[in-house]
Copies of this chain bind each other. A is one copy, B any other.
């Protein structure tokens, strides 16, 4: 049984804050500054260039990848970390189109996070071979997969509403039609149990700054199914994906398996931060996290619905169809969220009217949920959101 008092002690939470935005950026694990100080002063500072060997920097993308593999149901040696999620989407998609040269369709849905769609657009435009990005409403996604579909590009959990796709069904349908599946785990990894190999995903990608708490701009990860890993020819064929990077050959020869998804020199400080942030998972059962997330989400929804009649649930009511966030619609949602932040409850806002609340049992408990409901109820009752200062938009919303 996961001890959530213990996991909570893993984090340095800001004093007096109720943090319901772990779906966007996880808080600081106290192990991270300690680890980075070590990496900077005792590895980079003392070993300098020899750190690549002596501190094992060169293998970190794979070693840390293995730690993530365990959280997403992947075998060791099938995940590497590096770059950003946008780049990893591009790699997976380029590989998928390459493996299905006679098909022209990339199927996705309007609930996907925009950068996935943008990267697909850019790839299609570069290739200039008549591919098409076919977007449907999330509920029609399964029906959109057909014999011309090269790849299904799907983010499991909608970044606005928290709506969760039925991945087993989608993958089965895609495979039945001969399409490959790219499963974006941005809002899944660390939020609930994931089984990429059990469900037979072809590619999976994700970021580590949300539920994996690795900090702003933390590296992404990519999984390639073992049976495909040696068959893909990387579009982004950087030296770290070469079979022998330090032979400095003039010609590219793809490395073995997942190693060929590495591109450039890995960002060691950010990967070390990720590595330290992952320590908490050694003590955690993701099934417990999921159960607790559902319990806290149900509590939050019930509380808000009882106290705030002007807010409408934007998330699916069935917890099985939600990720680990809860969203409400409110016309003045932006200002209401600013009012909450001013009162120490941090969630966030997505246009046009969605207030998002991340439910993260590792460091949020029933007490915080109840207090957050109370503060939101007071803001709504007193129309505290109707304060001009709360309507001024910031760069990042």
Contact partner of A127 among B117, B126, B218, CB < 8 A? B126
Minimum C-beta distance from A30 to chain B (A): 9
By the criterion CB–CB under 8 Å, are A236 and B45 in contact? no
By the criterion CB–CB under 8 Å, are A269 and B238 in contact? no
Binds B, one of A71-79, A247-255, A279-287, A290-298: A247-255
Question: Which of the listed residues A28, A239, A266 has the most CB atoms from chain B within 10 Å of its own CB?
Answer: A239
The reply to whether the CB of A7 lies closer than 8 angstroms to some CB of chain B is: no
Q: Please measure, in the bound complex, the distance between the C-alpha atom of A240 and the C-alpha atom of B46, giving whole angstroms.
A: 36
Q: Nearest B residue to A26 by beta-carbon distance?
A: B48
Q: Please measure, in the bound complex, the distance between the C-alpha atom of A236 and the C-alpha atom of B89, giving whole angstroms.
A: 10
The reply to whether the CB of A395 lies closer than 8 angstroms to some CB of chain B is: yes
By the criterion CB–CB under 8 Å, are A125 and B216 in contact? no
Q: Please measure, in the bound complex, the distance between the C-alpha atom of A45 and the C-alpha atom of B12, giving whole angstroms.
A: 6
By the criterion CB–CB under 8 Å, are B32 and A40 in contact? yes
Q: Please measure, in the bound complex, the distance between the C-alpha atom of A135 and the C-alpha atom of B250, giving whole angstroms.
A: 9
Q: Please measure, in the bound complex, the distance between the C-alpha atom of A395 and the C-alpha atom of B90, giving whole angstroms.
A: 29
Task: Decide: A242 near B395, CB < 8 A? Known: A28-B40, A135-B250, A351-B247.
Answer: no
Could you give, for residues 299-327 of chain A, a 1 whenever the CB lies within 8 Å of some chain B CB and a 0 otherwise? 00000000000000000000000000000
Q: Please measure, in the bound complex, the distance between the C-alpha atom of A394 and the C-alpha atom of B125, giving whole angstroms.
A: 42
Minimum C-beta distance from A209 to chain B (A): 7
Minimum C-beta distance from A289 to chain B (A): 20
Instruction: Give A residues with C-beta under 8 Å from B.
Output: 12, 14, 17, 19, 21, 24-25, 27-28, 32-33, 36-37, 40-41, 44-53, 57-59, 83-87, 90, 94, 110, 113-115, 117-119, 121-123, 125-129, 135, 207, 209, 215-220, 233-240, 242, 246-252, 263-271, 273, 341, 346, 348, 350-351, 394-397
The 16 sampled A-B contact pairs (Cβ below 8 Å) are A14-B46, A21-B48, A44-B215, A53-B396, A84-B265, A85-B264, A86-B236, A86-B238, A114-B248, A114-B250, A115-B239, A118-B238, A126-B127, A216-B265, A217-B271, A247-B351
The 10 A-B pairs with the shortest beta carbon distances in the complex, nearest first, are: A84-B264, A122-B237, A86-B238, A86-B264, A115-B239, A216-B268, A217-B267, A52-B396, A118-B252, A28-B45
Q: 14 new A-B pairs (CB below 8 Å) besides A32-B40, A36-B36, A220-B264? A: A14-B48, A19-B48, A25-B44, A49-B348, A58-B395, A86-B238, A86-B239, A87-B236, A118-B242, A119-B237, A121-B252, A122-B235, A217-B265, A269-B273
